[in-house]
Amino acid sequence: MPRMTTELVLKYGCNPNQPTARILFDGAPEDCPLTIVNGSPSFINALDGLRGWELVRDLKAATGKASAASFKHVSPAGAAVAGDLTNDFCRANFYPLPAEHGYSAIAAAYARARSSDRGASFGDFIAVSETVDASLAQLIKPEVSDGIIAPGYDDEARAILAAKKGGRYVMLAIEPAYAPLSGSVESRTCFGLTLEQTYNDAAIDKPLLDNVVTAEKTLPADAVESLLVATVTLKHTQSNSICVAMAGQAIGVGAGQQSRIACTRLACDKADRFMLKQHPKALALIDLFKDGVKRPDKVNAIDQFVRYHELDEIERGGLLGLLTGEPDPITPGEARGWCANFGGGRLALSSDAFIPFRDNLDRAARSGVKYVLHAGGSARDGLVTDAANEHGMVMALSGLRLFLH
C-alpha cells in the first residue's frame, strides 16, 4: 500500500508572487512532527523555524541547558543558553529588571539570544528548546517578531502569543523526540535540477575541543560552554561564518561572507557593540530619549551611539533628533578599554572551517578573544597557531568542517 503524504499549506513562498508553498511529510498527519498552532507561516517562516529548532535542539544536547535562538533569513541573529541576567544587561536591552519579571530559564535564554543583535532580531523567528511559559510569552509580547517554534505552549503563554499581530502571530509546535533517520538524504531543487546530500547529523560536543595546539592549554568550563555555543550556532549559520561567544551566549555572528576575514570583522564588530551597550555612557543615553520614542528606534539609536565617533554629520543629526540633550560619546580609547575589561578573557571564537590567515586572530585579539576553535587542515595552520601563541590564546583544532548553504 502506498504511504500517505501529509501536506501543511504555507502562506506563500519566499515572496508573495510565489503563491504555491507547502511542507510535505512522508507519513500520516498524526505522525507529522510539526503542527501549526496559530497563524499562517510563510516559506521563510518555516525555514527559519526548522533551522532554529535544529540549533536549539543541538544546543541543549551540547550543554544540557534551556536554549533559545533568534533567526532571520535562515541564519541566527543570536543564540544562547539560560543564564543570569544583570540589571545593566536588562536596562541596555529594554527588558524588565529581573526583580520585576521573574525570568524562567527559557525566558532568560531568549532574552540573551535576542540581545546578541537586537537590530538584526527585529521581525525575528524564535526557536526555544522548552515549552513556552508565561514568563517567556510576556517577554516576547512587546517585541516585533514574526513567530516562534517550540515543543509546546502552556495555556497562559498560548493565549498571550495568539493575540499578537491581530491574532496572526505564527506559532509552531514540534515533537521534541523527532529526528531524521541516521543517514537520511535531504534534497533541494535548483534551476529545475534536484540536488541530494546526506543530512548533517554531526554532534557538537566536548571531544571536539581535545586537540589543543597552542602553548596555552587550559580551557575552563565557561570557555568550553562558550565554544560549544559558538560552534552549534555555526552549524546552523549560512557559510562562510564566524561566531564570537561569551558566558554561553553568541554575541557576534558573522555570516554569509565570501572571505573568512570579512566574517571575523563582522562577528567581532557585533561583539564589541554588544559589550559597549552596557557601558555607563550608553546606559546614561537611555535617560535622554524624548517622550514617545518607540523601542525599536531606541534600539537602533543605542547601536548608533556606541559607534558615535564613526558617524557622519547626517547620522549624528538623526540620533540627536531623538534625544533631549547632547550625549557624552564613548571615545575609541574608552571603547577598547571597556571591551577588554568587560570580556575579561572570556571571549571565545569558533569558525565553520579552517582559519587560513593570521589576520583573523589579529582582529579577534583586538576584541579580547582568548579561546579559539577551528577545523584546521590548512597549509598555513602553523602560521595561524604562531599568531594564537603571540596573542596568548588557547586554540584547538576540531577536524570538523560545518559549511551550510
Report the pLDDT value the prediction gives residue 344, as an integer from 0 to 100: 87
Asked if residue 324 and residue 383 are part of one domain, the reply reads no
Where does the pLDDT of residue 214 fall: very low under 50, low under 70, confident under 90, or very high at 90 and above? very high
For residue 240, the domain's CATH number is 3.40.140.20
Asked if residue 293 and residue 242 are part of one domain, the reply reads no
Full domain range(s) for residue 109: 5-174
Q: Give exposure, 154-167, as e/b (b: 16+ Cβ within 10 Å).
A: eeebbebbbebeee
Asked if residue 18 and residue 159 are part of one domain, the reply reads yes
% of the chain exceeding 70 in pLDDT: 99
pLDDT over threshold 90, residue 42: yes
Asked if residue 157 and residue 16 are part of one domain, the reply reads yes
Asked if residue 134 and residue 263 are part of one domain, the reply reads no
- Catalytic residue list contains 405: yes
pLDDT over threshold 90, residue 181: no
Asked if residue 288 and residue 266 are part of one domain, the reply reads no
Asked if residue 309 and residue 225 are part of one domain, the reply reads no
For residue 287, the domain's CATH number is 1.10.287
405 is a domain residue: no
Q: What is the pTM of this model?
A: 0.95
Residue 251 buriedness (CB in 10 A; 0-12 / 13-18 / 19+): buried
Asked if residue 80 and residue 40 are part of one domain, the reply reads yes
- Please choose, from the candidates 37, 71, 31, 36, the residue with its C-alpha nearest in 3D space to the C-alpha of residue 54: 71
78 is a domain residue: yes
How does pLDDT run across 248-282, given as a tens digit for each residue? 999 999 999 999 999 999 999 999 999 999 999 99
Asked if residue 245 and residue 352 are part of one domain, the reply reads yes
Report the pLDDT value the prediction gives residue 2, as an integer from 0 to 100: 53
182 is a domain residue: no
| Catalytic residue (one of 240, 277, 281, 391) | 240
Cell of 329: 560619546
319 is a domain residue: yes
Asked if residue 293 and residue 221 are part of one domain, the reply reads no
**Mean pLDDT over the full length of the chain:** 95
pLDDT over threshold 70, residue 14: yes
Taking a C-beta distance cutoff of 8 angstroms, is the pair 59, 232 a contact? Answer: yes
How does pLDDT run across 106-121, given as a tens digit for each residue? 999 999 999 999 999 9
Asked if residue 225 and residue 245 are part of one domain, the reply reads yes
Q: Structural domain tally of the chain?
A: 3
Report the pLDDT value the prediction gives residue 337, as an integer from 0 to 100: 94
Cα distances (Å, whole numbers) of residue 42 to 17, 23, 28, 125: 12, 10, 22, 11
Quote the radius of gyration of the chain (alpha carbons, Å): 21
Cell of 171: 506559532
Taking a C-beta distance cutoff of 8 angstroms, is the pair 39, 168 a contact? Answer: yes
Last residue of a domain, one of 104, 139, 174: 174
How does pLDDT run across 60-114, given as a tens digit for each residue? 999 999 999 999 999 999 999 999 999 999 999 999 999 999 999 999 999 999 9
58 is a domain residue: yes
Report the pLDDT value the prediction gives residue 4, as an integer from 0 to 100: 84
Where does the pLDDT of residue 183 fall: very low under 50, low under 70, confident under 90, or very high at 90 and above? confident
Ramachandran category for residue 350: left, alpha or beta (phi over 0 → left; psi -120 to 50 → alpha): beta
115 is a domain residue: yes
184 is a domain residue: no
Taking a C-beta distance cutoff of 8 angstroms, is the pair 273, 342 a contact? Answer: no
% of the chain exceeding 90 in pLDDT: 96
338 is a domain residue: no
| Catalytic residue (one of 60, 65, 72, 370) | 72
- Catalytic residue list contains 391: no
- Catalytic residue list contains 101: no
Taking a C-beta distance cutoff of 8 angstroms, is the pair 46, 147 a contact? Answer: no
Asked if residue 112 and residue 170 are part of one domain, the reply reads yes
- Catalytic residue list contains 73: yes
